[in-house]
Amino acid sequence: MFTASAGRYQTGYYIYGIGRALSNRILHSASVDPDKRTKDLTGEEVSKITSIMQKTFKIEGDLRREVAANIKRLMDIGSYRGLRHKKGLPVRGQRTKTNARSRKGPRRTVGAIKAAAAKATTGKKQ
């Protein structure tokens, strides 16, 4: 669930799909004080919060499945965004000439690839 609150802000969120704004909205609709620590919540308050989350929002596995299905759909129809996902390149128009290392992976220099390929072919002939 939510972690202990530090003043007005939650210090961490352990549920996929729930951040600070959404957690504050859930607490407001459940009539729970946002400054109250998690360990001090009563069983009734916890059940209110969980019922609101389950009825209203897609979280955790359902949300992950929906996001994966959306990406798969983009790849299946062959859209530009789907092709970028397939190739492992940035999807939202970022430059790739000099940056995007986290999306493209570590650098592979051309000389190292040729040397590795040559070594692999010479090893097979013997």
pLDDT given at position 75: 95
Model pTM above 0.85? no
Cα–Cα distance measured from residue 15 to residue 57, given in angstroms and rounded to the nearest whole number: 12
Among 1.20.140, 1.10.8, 2.60.40, 1.10.540, what is the CATH number of 5-56? 1.10.8
CA 33-38-40 angle, to 5 degrees, is 80
Torsion angle of C-alpha atoms 25, 27, 31, 37, degrees rounded to 10: -150
Q: pLDDT, tens digit, for every residue of 73-120?
A: 999 999 999 999 999 999 998 988 888 888 888 888 877 777 778 888
Q: pLDDT, tens digit, for every residue of 8-50?
A: 555 456 888 888 888 889 999 999 988 888 888 899 999 999 8
What count of residues does the chain have? 126
Specify the CATH architecture of the domain 61-125: Irregular (4.10)
Q: Where are the domains of the chain?
A: 5-56, 61-125
Mean pLDDT of 43-63: 90
Where residue 6 falls among pLDDT bands split at 50, 70, 90? very low
pLDDT given at position 73: 97
Find where tokens 């990406």 sit: 71
